């Protein structure tokens, strides 16, 4: 008796080797293609059909590239779109997920990856890996998966499928802030061949911007007449106000850099600063300063705002902090308030200079 071939009665479906598939035709240029996806039954087939049409409508044919995309292919796409990140951020996730299909990565996989990285000692020193280091790696992995989600290559972000995996509360909180005396000693060492450190340190101390954000600044963002730095939108400047006021000393450093430059508005303010880590370590050693990271100068910005009596909600906005959300609603940084904050810092700097110049009171004691 001849074998009867089973046919599906549901449109856009077919049965192959006893399994039900949803088949959606789509067009790429002048050619028609088909996308097939397995379904458990007819009810599930209707759901799959809706998902395929939604993916096709939102992301076009490129959405179907994610079905067979491997993690190392996704990472290559991401790195082409975001060049410049150090390899040590990518190496651990690439070694762990290299041949995995990106749509098969689950929350449990991410949790296991975090546990493995936390248990892996540092490569050269053999010391235990800090929670902050693991969090940075997870943040970059999350960025890669979000990139895939934006392109429709994955349907959801596995990081969102459970409790937060990136826990800032586990990180060791640094309270190191450079004192005015340390600042004076450090800047005294910012002479050739370390002169490039002076404007960079003053800029991060008086604006609170990260080193990466400062190195990305261009001259068209600097308003000499208004004494402002106009901040663009983007990840480097996330949660920052649109403008930051320049203190007198920062404005003087910027003017010197501008006069010594080719005066191209599109050029970077701090040029191509290279070898800064070695120069920074040398300056700290010569100044007799220990345990002071470059990022600690940013912490000094928030401390200086507090000492200068800048209102707390305004200081939080200037620092890019997001706590005390109620105050955030009322803190809108415009040109006037940015200049007011810079003027308060100028008064603080002037008061420090005055205090250091005053003679010590006589004690009445005779040696």
Q: What's the pLDDT score for residue 366?
A: 46
Separation CA 365–CA 367 (nearest Å): 7
Query: What mean pLDDT do residues 58-74 have?
Result: 78
222-230 average pLDDT score: 93
Query: Which residues on adjacent β-strands are paired with residue 36?
Result: 23
Model confidence at 330: pLDDT above 50: no
Q: Is the pLDDT of residue 367 over 50?
A: no
Which is more confidently placed, 346 or 330?
A: 346
Residue 191 has pLDDT above 50, yes or no: yes
Question: Is the distance from CB of 8 to CB of 14 less than 8 angstroms?
Answer: yes
DSSP secondary structure code for residue 268 in this structure: B
Whether the per-residue pLDDT at 333 is higher than 60: the answer is no
The more confident residue out of 219 and 361 is 219
Domains and CATH numbers, the chain: 13-63 (no CATH), 71-170 (1.10.150), 180-350 (1.10.443.10)
The stretches of 208-334 forming alpha helices (DSSP H) are 211-215, 248-260, 276-287, 296-307, 312-319, 325-330
Q: Residue 169: pLDDT above 80?
A: no
Picking from 103-117, 300-314, 342-356, which range would have the lowest pLDDT averaged per residue?
Answer: 300-314
For residue range 35-59, list pLDDT tens digits in order.
Answer: 777 888 888 888 888 887 887 777 6
172 pLDDT above the threshold of 70: no
The span from the CA of 288 to the CA of 296, in Å, is 16
| Residue 210: predicted pLDDT | 83
Mean pLDDT, residues 153-178 taken together: 82
How are strands ordered across the β-sheet holding 19-28? 13-16, 19-28, 31-39
Contact 333, 241 (CB under 8 A): yes
| pLDDT at position 11 over 90 | no
How is 164-223 classified by DSSP, letter by letter? -S--GGGSPPP-----HHHHHHHHHT--TTSTTHHHHHHHHHHH---HHHHHT-BGGGEE
Residue 227 phi, psi dihedral angles, 5° rounding? 55, 50
Rounded to whole angstroms, how far apart are CA atoms 132 and 138? 10
For the chain, what percentages of helix, strand and coil (3-state, to nearest 5) are there? 55, 10, 35
Q: Please give the residue that has the higher pLDDT: either 265 or 67.
A: 265
Quick one: pLDDT at residue 173? 66
Residue 329's pLDDT is what? Answer: 33
Q: Is the pLDDT reported for residue 324 higher than 70?
A: no
Q: How confident is the model at residue 325 (pLDDT cuts 50, 70, 90)?
A: very low
User: Is residue 287 over pLDDT 80?
Assistant: yes
Task: Of 168-172, 214-218, 350-354, give the range with the top mean pLDDT.
Answer: 214-218
What is the average per-residue pLDDT within 187-201?
Answer: 94
Q: What are phi and psi of 221, to 5 degrees?
A: -85, -10
Of 193, 201, 232, nearest to 216 (Cα)? 232
Calculate the average pLDDT of the chain. 82
Identify the pLDDT of residue 351.
86
Q: Between residues 238 and 282, which one has the greater pLDDT?
A: 282
Name the 3-class secondary structure at 284: helix
Query: Which pLDDT score is estimated for 328?
Result: 38
Instruction: Say what the pLDDT of residue 133 is.
Output: 86
């Amino acid at each position: 008796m001849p074998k009867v071939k089973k046919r599906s009665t549901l449109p856009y479906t077919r049965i192959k080797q006893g399994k039900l598939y949803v088949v959606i035709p789509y067009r790429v240029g002048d050619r028609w293609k088909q996308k097939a996806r397995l379904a458990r039954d007819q009810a599930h087939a209707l759901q799959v059909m809706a998902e395929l049409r939604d993916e096709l409508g939102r992301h076009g044919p490129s959405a179907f590239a994610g079905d067979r995309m491997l993690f190392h292919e996704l990472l290559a796409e991401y790195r082409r779109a975001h060049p410049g990140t150090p390899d040590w951020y990518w190496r651990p996730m690439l070694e762990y997920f290299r041949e995995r299909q990106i749509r098969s990565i689950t929350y449990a996989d991410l949790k296991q990856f975090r546990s493995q990285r936390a248990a892996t000692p540092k490569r050269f020193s053999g010391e235990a890996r800090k929670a902050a280091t693991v969090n940075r790696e997870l943040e970059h992995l999350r960025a890669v998966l979000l990139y895939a989600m934006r392109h429709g290559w994955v349907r959801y972000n596995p990081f969102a499928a459970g409790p937060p995996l990136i826990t800032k509360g586990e990180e060791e909180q640094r309270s190191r802030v450079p004192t005015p005396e340390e600042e004076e000693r450090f800047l005294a060492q910012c002479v050739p061949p370390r002169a490039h450190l002076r404007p960079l340190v003053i800029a991060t101390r008086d604006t609170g911007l990260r080193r990466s954000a400062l190195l990305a600044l261009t001259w068209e963002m600097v308003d000499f007449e208004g004494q402002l730095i106009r901040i663009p939108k983007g990840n480097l400047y996330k949660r920052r106000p649109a403008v930051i006021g320049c203190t007198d000393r920062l404005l003087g450093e910027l003017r010197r850099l501008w006069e010594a430059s080719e005066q191209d508005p599109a050029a970077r303010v701090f040029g191509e600063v290279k070898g800064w880590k070695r120069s920074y370590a040398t300056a700290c050693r010569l100044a007799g300063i220990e345990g002071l990271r470059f990022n600690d100068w940013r912490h000094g910005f928030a401390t200086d705002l507090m000492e200068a009596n800048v209102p707390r909600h305004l200081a939080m906005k200037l620092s890019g902090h997001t706590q005390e959300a109620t105050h955030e609603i009322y803190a809108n940084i415009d040109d006037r308030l940015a200049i007011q904050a810079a003027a308060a810092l100028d008064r603080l700097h002037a008061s420090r200079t005055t205090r250091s110049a005053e003679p010590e009171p006589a004690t009445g004691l005779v040696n």
